[in-house]
Structure 1
Amino acid sequence: MLDRYRTVRESGNKEIVIKKSRFIGHVMPVETEQEAIAFIERIKKEHWNATHNCSAYMIGERDEIQKQSDDGEPSGTAGKPILEVIRNQGLKNVAIVVTRYFGGIMLGAGGLIRAYTDGAVAAIEAGQPITRVLHREVYVEVDYTWLGKIENELRNRAIRTGQPSFADKVTLLCLPEEPEAEGFTAWMTDLTQGQSVITEGERIYFIEGE
């Protein structure tokens, strides 16, 4: 799993008009190629009467899956520019469809490339670009006498935390970023003078800054 990557928060769409042609950019975060294909097919059904529904998607930690479609536009003028926008913005696990309703004015190859580029950028803006950061669950079980000190230190270091659980002892759910998890465990052991029981849990993505 990647320590961090850029994607979009949610599905969205935005329309722009270029020389009387309507270009509607649609975007969706996807985890699999099947999700991307289903999204593209859904947009095609919704806009069945559009002149073109051009698309591209990029999926995988190393961008293993990259596909594009000009959907009837001249080769290289639609799908490739959309894919280039995804790549240039450093996004992963994203599918984009740019729908075109022809307005009667020919744009030429250069004009089409610019239009589909702008449509893809508009789609990404609508989907709200975010950075997802990988964290590790670290459970720290201690006597209640340690609670105030630990909570204060966690605040000072701006460590993300979850809901604690209270029983005979208190168990704090700490969520350091994944690369820092090992160092966090050593620090917590030292902080509590070895009087804590520390166990690691799952790895979870959170949105940076939230």
Structure 2
Amino acid sequence: MSHYYHTIEKPAVAEFKDRGSKFIAYAYPIQTVEDFKKHLKALKEEHPKAVHHCFAYRIGTDNNNFRANDDGEPSGSAGKPILGQIDSKQLTNVAVIVVRYFGGTLLGVPGLINAYKTSTSLALQLTPIVQKPVLETYELQFDYTMMNEVMVVVKRFHCVVMQNEMQLFCRLQLGIPKSEEQLFLDKLKDFHVVEVRKI
């Protein structure tokens, strides 16, 4: 299991034309299926006359959260080639939606596979690929007086604060880089008053 994953930082758009048909690929960084659905809805509103909105996405690092959809194109001719490009670059937390305008000439399955693959590849080439740490989620609970000591450790191990409630008793939800997880937990053991729970 790797301590890092690769994703894209910014959205990108690329266009590919074949015999009058136009394929516009939109690549997006996403965290959740909800993020993806918002992008798909916006593109359907932006391109109401397009005949197809085919897509694929992959989320997370366990290889189980992905989807490919042909949106009416022949089975396996659109979603799979799009997902294939995401996977060939070993990316995750990425969605690619390809909007197709039909040009009057049938391209056949090999032509469609090529068009969806090429437009996706072009879009993914236009946006920087970044390496990010895989995060394990923990919840910490501690007395407010411990705040400074805990935050020093949180910063030192490059943890991501997802939620925090600061009252007399504090609750922090953290994403801890997998590579630092054991060191972080060992360090927290020094503060006997911090309660740690993996989520």
- Count residues in correspondence: 159
- Judge conservation of contact 1:33–1:65 (CA < 8 Å) in 2: no
- Judge conservation of contact 2:9–2:127 (CA < 8 Å) in 1: yes
Distance of aligned partners of 1:64 and 1:134 in 2 relative to their CA distance in 1, 3 Å threshold: closer
Q: Matched residue of 1:127: which SS?
A: coil
Taking the aligned partners of 1:15 and 1:38, their CA distance within structure 2 comes to 21
Taking the aligned partners of 1:61 and 1:90, their CA distance within structure 2 comes to 10
Aligned to 1:45: 45
Q: Give the Å deviation of 1:80.
A: 1.2
Q: Give the Å deviation of 1:134.
A: 5.3
Aligned to 1:106: 106
Q: Give the Å deviation of 1:112.
A: 0.4
Aligned to 1:8: 8
Q: Give the Å deviation of 1:123.
A: 2.0
Q: Give the Å deviation of 1:174.
A: 4.1
- Judge conservation of contact 1:57–1:95 (CA < 8 Å) in 2: yes
Determine whether 1:33 maps to 2:30.
no
Map 1:34-183; keep pairs closer than 5 Å.
34-133=34-133, 174-175=156-157, 179=179
Q: Give the Å deviation of 1:180.
A: 5.6
TM-score (norm 1): 0.63
- Judge conservation of contact 1:10–1:128 (CA < 8 Å) in 2: yes
Q: Give the Å deviation of 1:110.
A: 0.4
Unpaired runs of 5+ residues, structure 2, are 136-151, 159-176, 192-199
- Judge conservation of contact 1:5–1:92 (CA < 8 Å) in 2: yes
Aligned to 1:161: none
RMSD, aligned α-carbons = 3.2
Q: Matched residue of 2:126: which SS?
A: helix
Which runs of structure 1 show a deviation greater than 3 angstroms over 4 or more consecutive aligned residues?
171-178, 180-184
TM-score (norm 2): 0.67
Query: Amino acid of the residue matched to residue 70 of structure 1?
Result: D
Aligned identity (percent) is 35
1:109-138 deviation line (CA, Å, top 9, x unaligned) = 101001100111122123322221359xxx
- Judge conservation of contact 1:14–1:123 (CA < 8 Å) in 2: yes
Distance of aligned partners of 1:34 and 1:183 in 2 relative to their CA distance in 1, 3 Å threshold: closer
Greater gyration radius: 1
